Amino acid sequence: MTNTPLGPGTALLVIDVQNDFCPGGALAVPHGDAIVPAVNKLIAAADLVVLTQDWHPRRHGSFASVHKGKAPFETIEVAYGPQTLWPDHCVQGTSGAAFHEDLMTDRAALVVRKGMRPAVDSYSAFFENDRTTTTGLDGWLRARAVSRVVCCGLAFDFCVAYSALDAQGLGFGVVVAEDACAAIDLDGSRAAQAAAMAKAGVTLTTVASLSA
């Protein structure tokens, strides 16, 4: 590994910078579009870039609209445990599922699509929410001698945090560029997930420290 923060041995993991998670989208993260310049700065500096993309079939089981009498942001119990219900979002092939138009996607070596199984949601880039089904990203990174992962994107307190914690649990060194993320902050979830990541050994840092 080199001393370059985003050089060989490190993968930049850009999480779900998609239209539905930006202002005007179906599940907009406050100021979600404002992080795009910071994310692009990291992409420009990175040796290896991976993008993730929520890619739900219509009537996905995590959508409140498929559960009679339920509203977005309520929680239900499913086979794998608690599941937050969401507005319909990032439906396969729709403009909402597309990457933000200003995101630098050309340098991506891989796009990991998640949430494709109708009955299982997927926050993490590494595991679906049943915690047993893998996306294959772990093996793909190891085949390229990656030992460190830098995470950014949307949302800090859901898909970014789940991805960072899973990467740490799999034995990668993990850094989250906090100012290249935006949070939903559902019932204090931003602070709770920041604390969980710090406790697990994830480093929270800034874009400036990584892209110099």
* Active-site residue list: 16, 114, 159
CA distance 41 to 124: 23
63: which 2 tokens?
């959508």
Question: Which residues, 6 or more positions from 126, have their beta carbon under 8 angstroms from its beta carbon?
Answer: 134, 135, 137, 138, 163, 166, 167, 170
190-212 b/e with 16+ CB inside 10 Å = b? beebbeebeeeebbbbebeebbe
SS3 14: strand
Q: How many C-beta atoms lie closer than 10 Å to residue 27's C-beta? A: 23
Question: Which residues, 6 or more positions from 8, have their beta carbon under 8 angstroms from its beta carbon?
Answer: 1, 2, 47, 48, 145
CA distance 203 to 139: 22
